[in-house]
Structure 1
Amino acid sequence: MKFGKEFASQTVPEWLEAYMNYEYLKTLLEEILVIRRRQQTSTPENNNNNSRVPQRPSFKRKVSLFRAFSGLTNSTASRRHKEDEVIIVSEVKQRDEEHGASECQTNYQTVFLRSSEEGGDLESQFFRRLDHEFNKVINFYKSKVDEAVKEAKELNVQMDTLVALRIKVNNPSMEVISEQHQDHNKMASLDVLNRVKINATTETPRSTVRNVFNSLNVDLNYNKNELKNAQGKLKQAFLEFHEKLRLLKNYVFQNQMAFSKIMKKYDKITSRNASETYLEMVDESYLNQSDEVAKLIERVEASFIKHFCNGDRQRGMNTLRPKYKREKHRVTFFLGCFFGCSVALVAAIIVSIHTRDLLEGEGKTKYMNTIFPLYSLFGFLVLHMLMYAGNVYFWTRYRVNYSFIFGFKQGTDLRFKQVLLLTFGLSVLVLAAILANLEMEMDPETQSYKTYTELLPLGLVTVVFLLAICPFNILYRSNRFFFLVCLWHCICAPLYLVTLPDFFLADQFTSQVQLLRNVEFYACYYGWGDFKARDASTCNDSNVYKIISILVAVIPYWIRVLQCIRRLCEGRDSTQAMNGLKYLSTIAAVVTRTIYTQRRGTTMKIIAASTSGVATIFSTYWDIVMDWGLLCRNSENPWLRDKLILPSRSIYFIAIVLNVILRLAWMQTVLDFHEAPFLHRNALIAIVASLEIIRRGIWNFFRLENEHLNNVGKFRAVKSVPLPFSYEDEDKDL
């Protein structure tokens, strides 16, 4: 692999703009190379008439050789060295306007001594840009080191408080805890607890309700629950801080390698010897001489091992070290097997239906009204998982750090092949159940077991549900647990702090309204319907069922309204109020459309069309402008945004058009397309629901791309973990 690609793959995505722009510098060198080759091809032509006149480079080399063997003194040799110099690098002190006039920052400036030669202007431009990149790297690194030092001081105070709290809670009779400090031991002081409050958590609905009436910071009660929560938060803070230090260390190494490679490439192209001078400056700069990060890493590791791993270094380092996932061959193997089985099962189902005319006459109507909704639930789920697998593939390809954005534990995020494995595994299970259902229905020997035939979809739902909540460490338990936690947060909204995974999942459910209605149909069909006779009239003709169907469709949007209210109250962000109004308009549209499909009437049709039109305009604007960050008139990319990840701008415009078109799928309701004779009503509903799932899959990519670019703009590469303790006074050097 070429260094340019390797360098790009090793960069921290959120810090990309802070790295040396290797590709741009390489393009400048390529232009210099073109000029050099042009000189080489033109020189023989100019010297055809006077071949005895030596070329200028050859004359310089002869003089250099003569002086090398002439036995001159050291002073003359020094003068010769100065004559061969290509660049001079110097330090320039400049005032730092951001931190006040009293502070100065050091910038490096390179003077190119051969600018009068042909092509010298381009080489001067190369060194000016090289200086710009180096100063950018130095200043960014200094700012991050300063942040790290401040965070280390804060963690040190927090750790002292935790140690004191451990002593207070455990209350050992003969326990002595000492801390190594300035070459002598000191006793852990309990006085720190007199000026400390514990930051109240909002991790449970009960604590949220309690915090409405109390302050965010509460007095310590010195109980084990407080100790456990504080220790968990501080441990996570140490892990994130260590990750940040590790990224900084890698940042220095990668940039040093980049400067070394680009200078050696310059020497090779120009036949000069400038890399030695420039790289000597790089070695003597803050980038190489600073050892704060290395010392902080050692201290963090020592403190973490001592206080969180009982001195077990191996266990501590295993926890601190980054966990990388390796591609397993069995994932690819089983993915291929499940995909092949899915294709074979689909072909078998089609052949079985066609040869036996199963969907003709009265049997077709019964099947489409009962069995089709039962199995289409899994079709919606499989389609959504396919879209998510596509999202993961393109997020990975274009280096969108979805694992960090969602907050997955390190090494637990699913790659697109693993998502596809689950998707096709589920499809094999569903398709096998459908084929078995068809075969059992047509086989004379199984006619007496018709009840068990009808219970097959319910059994399939039960199996999938049990696999989802299985407590054993199989089928990606950490991911299943993460999903269930986010689902619980959505159900309990607004009693939990709203994070991106929570509202992202709630948005997915707004595109799975038909799936939720199918779940309602399951409950009614097997609870109150006559499933033995394959009769769903008890459900479809019930007014109570129709009312519940409206409520079920409203639930996902109402959850989002509650989440917007929670975020508005916490962040005082006015855009969340507008976002909540958007979901309220969608609720009005969903309710009126559902009532129109049940009761009809011209007035209801006008109301449904009006509310749906308003909701569509509102939601489309929000998708494109707020969630995707597009349609910026004065951006570098007209009507898009300044920073784009995808290589072609046309893809963004295509996505905008598709989003608008797919959002208009509701028009089939008010235009009565569901009464088309060539397509059953439930089949049309399934197609429209599938289009909404596809729209949501497209939305997912650009929504996370925009979130990633926001993190890039703030250079946010690690999670900010809330610390467990706060202090009554500002002086924390206890």
Structure 2
Amino acid sequence: MVFILGNTLHVSQSGKSLAWRPALHLYRSSFLIALHITFVAINIYGWSHSGVNHVLIFEIDPRNHLTYQRLLEIGTFLLVLWFVSFTAFIISSYHDAQPFAQPLIFVIFLIILLINPIRIFYYKSRIWFLKNIGRVFLAPFYHVDFTGFWLGDQLISLDLIFFDLQYFICFYTYDVHWIQPTDKQGVFCSGWSQFFLQTVFIVLPSWFRFAQCIRRYRDTKAKFPHLANAGKYASGFLVAITNAVRRATILEYQQQRTSNPFLYLWFISSLIGSTYKLIWDLKMDYGFFDKNAGKNKFLREQIIYSSKAYYYAAIIENILFRFIWIINIFIYFNTSAAEYADIIGFVFGIIEAFRRFIWNYFRLENEHLNNCGEFRAVRDIPIQTTVTVASGYSTRLESIGSLSNLGDEQDAKRRQSMIRGGTMTAMERSRTLTILNEAFDNETSVSKSLTTGTNSNQAQNVSNNLESSSNTISSSNSLVLVNPYYTRTQPT
């Protein structure tokens, strides 16, 4: 509808053409913000559905955090407002009624929505975000955790916002004639100084991550992976600088574009940087190409998502999108119109947001598996004596049948955690379930007796019953073993 309206009202009543290029610069960044919020909401849905504990990974208060429904409402609400604002811009342009007030109002609304101190509109979540994003901006002066790393990487994919910041400031300072026309130009709004300021802004996300890696090295003294990761983001500095010089010298080499030396410097630095980042994505962030992957060829030993096709598709997608910048070379040699570069830059921004959306799934999955492997995700109280199922005779609880005869939900989960691995015959499954039911029922009796403060004789009798059941289990074809040296943990 917006495009139809723009095509219909592309000339104002006074005969002026619709200012598409300034509108593109002023609106594309806010669109990427709303789109990215929507993508993160979908990420949260996928993590929750697949069992990736993002609440623990981000150290969010489990009693008070945004669900994917709430975040999706915010993202779609902002997208609707964006389209309303853009429509108002087109109509205002047609009537010559200060059209450039519309994108400014929308950006001011976004800022107020985020930083307003009133305890409305998810106040605690906004404070959590501002606190963590502030630490990203002030790196390396604060300790860096996973949340800081993750937010910094999101900013890397939103670097177009930082690039457009220079245009936004200069446009509303000098180009918009609110009262009377003026020919004054700012120091950083034209010529080489303009490219310099754009470069400073666009390298800020890479600087944040670089500084975080240096801080991590200072805290841990581990050269790998922190210094190696810092080198990855340092390559972004070189890409931004060579690209700025290439753009600044386009007019000088207009007739002989192949003679521009900065074109080749930019190409080489971009190729090295993209290859570096691709390898880091697949090997370090995703954990793929693990030598112990086993049947998960080219992946890792453990995977959470339901289909391997997702993982292989993510590898192909990451390769394609990491090197999609090569299209810029064909644009450079086939057209000199800056409008095409602006549109392609916007398309690249959307593609990068989508690439980060996919990256989020596998990065948090890998972090979740690392937490489980290193027991960082276990908050349990150890109990000395326990009952475990021998792995050779265990199987998943789902293959046994209905849970209706296994007691309450908590006991069912505990039984499920004890029956994993191989296969059983029907008789063995039945016998194992009977033994487990008796053991858990007796253990539950012990817990309830001790909790309700029954007398010591009752507790001793129940404990003896549990010991008797345990001995019975240990003699039942070695299906279940009582190991006094093994500690089972019980959730608090």
Aligned to 2:159: 513
Distance, in Å, in 2 between the alignment partners of 1:719 and 1:650 is 33
SS where residue 641 of structure 1 aligns?
A: coil
Aligned to 1:579: 229
Note the C-alpha offset of 1:388. 0.8
1:635 touches 1:642 (CA, 8 Å); kept in 2?
A: yes
The change in CA–CA distance for 1:534 and 1:526 in structure 2 (over 3 A counts) is same
Note the C-alpha offset of 1:470. 1.3
SS where residue 64 of structure 2 aligns?
A: coil
Larger Rg computed on CA atoms:
1
Query: After the TM superposition, which residues 296-375 of structure 1 pair with which residues of structure 2 at under 5 Å, given as runs?
Result: 347=1, 349-358=2-11, 367-375=19-27
1:641 aligns with 2:294: no
SS where residue 19 of structure 2 aligns?
A: helix
How far does the alpha carbon of each residue in 1:696-729 deviate from its partner, in whole angstroms, 9 at most, with x for none? Answer: 1111111111000011112323689xxxxxxxxx
The change in CA–CA distance for 1:496 and 1:684 in structure 2 (over 3 A counts) is same
1:597 touches 1:669 (CA, 8 Å); kept in 2?
A: no
1:565 aligns with 2:214: yes
Aligned to 1:429: 81
Aligned to 2:317: 658
Aligned to 2:345: 685
Note the C-alpha offset of 1:679. 6.8
SS where residue 51 of structure 2 aligns?
A: coil
How far does the alpha carbon of each residue in 1:481-522 deviate from its partner, in whole angstroms, 9 at most, with x for none? Answer: 111111110111111000111111111111111111222222
Percent identical among aligned pairs is 26
Letter in 1 for 2:353: I
Aligned to 2:138: 492
1:530 touches 1:536 (CA, 8 Å); kept in 2?
A: no
Aligned to 2:488: none
Distance, in Å, in 1 between the alignment partners of 2:24 and 2:152 is 26
SS where residue 203 of structure 2 aligns?
A: helix
Distance, in Å, in 1 between the alignment partners of 2:234 and 2:124 is 34
How far does the alpha carbon of each residue in 1:150-177 deviate from its partner, in whole angstroms, 9 at most, with x for none? Answer: xxxxxxxxxxxxxxxxxxxxxxxxxxxx
Letter in 2 for 1:380: L
Q: TM-score, normalised by structure 1?
A: 0.47
1:557 touches 1:583 (CA, 8 Å); kept in 2?
A: yes
Aligned to 2:483: none
Letter in 2 for 1:513: D
Aligned to 1:555: 204
The change in CA–CA distance for 1:473 and 1:358 in structure 2 (over 3 A counts) is same
Letter in 1 for 2:324: A
Larger RCO of the pair (alpha carbons < 8 Å, separation 6+): 1
How far does the alpha carbon of each residue in 1:33-80 deviate from its partner, in whole angstroms, 9 at most, with x for none? Answer: xxxxxxxxxxxxxxxxxxxxxxxxxxxxxxxxxxxxxxxxxxxxxxxx
Aligned to 1:546: 195
SS where residue 654 of structure 1 aligns?
A: helix
Q: TM-score, normalised by structure 2?
A: 0.69
1:623 aligns with 2:272: no
Aligned to 1:396: 48
The change in CA–CA distance for 1:640 and 1:531 in structure 2 (over 3 A counts) is farther
Letter in 2 for 1:691: I
5+ long unaligned stretches in structure 2 = 251-258, 381-492
Distance, in Å, in 2 between the alignment partners of 1:656 and 1:676 is 34
Letter in 2 for 1:625: K
Aligned to 1:711: 371
The change in CA–CA distance for 1:678 and 1:576 in structure 2 (over 3 A counts) is closer
1:398 touches 1:645 (CA, 8 Å); kept in 2?
A: yes
Question: How many pairs align?
Answer: 364
The change in CA–CA distance for 1:358 and 1:380 in structure 2 (over 3 A counts) is farther
1:608 touches 1:670 (CA, 8 Å); kept in 2?
A: no
Aligned to 2:90: 438
- Give the CA RMSD over aligned residues: 2.5
Distance, in Å, in 2 between the alignment partners of 1:537 and 1:640 is 55
1:370 touches 1:536 (CA, 8 Å); kept in 2?
A: no
Note the C-alpha offset of 1:363. 5.7
Aligned to 1:148: none
1:461 aligns with 2:111: no
SS where residue 60 of structure 2 aligns?
A: coil
Note the C-alpha offset of 1:577. 0.6
1:469 touches 1:480 (CA, 8 Å); kept in 2?
A: yes
SS where residue 370 of structure 1 aligns?
A: helix
SS where residue 323 of structure 2 aligns?
A: helix
1:454 touches 1:534 (CA, 8 Å); kept in 2?
A: no
2:9 touches 2:90 (CA, 8 Å); kept in 1?
A: no
Query: After the TM superposition, which residues 175-324 of structure 1 pair with which residues of structure 2 at under 5 Å, given as runs?
Result: none
Distance, in Å, in 2 between the alignment partners of 1:436 and 1:357 is 13
Distance, in Å, in 1 between the alignment partners of 2:57 and 2:19 is 43
1:592 aligns with 2:242: yes
Distance, in Å, in 2 between the alignment partners of 1:462 and 1:535 is 26
The change in CA–CA distance for 1:616 and 1:535 in structure 2 (over 3 A counts) is farther
The change in CA–CA distance for 1:569 and 1:411 in structure 2 (over 3 A counts) is same
2:9 touches 2:91 (CA, 8 Å); kept in 1?
A: no
1:529 aligns with 2:175: yes
1:409 aligns with 2:37: no
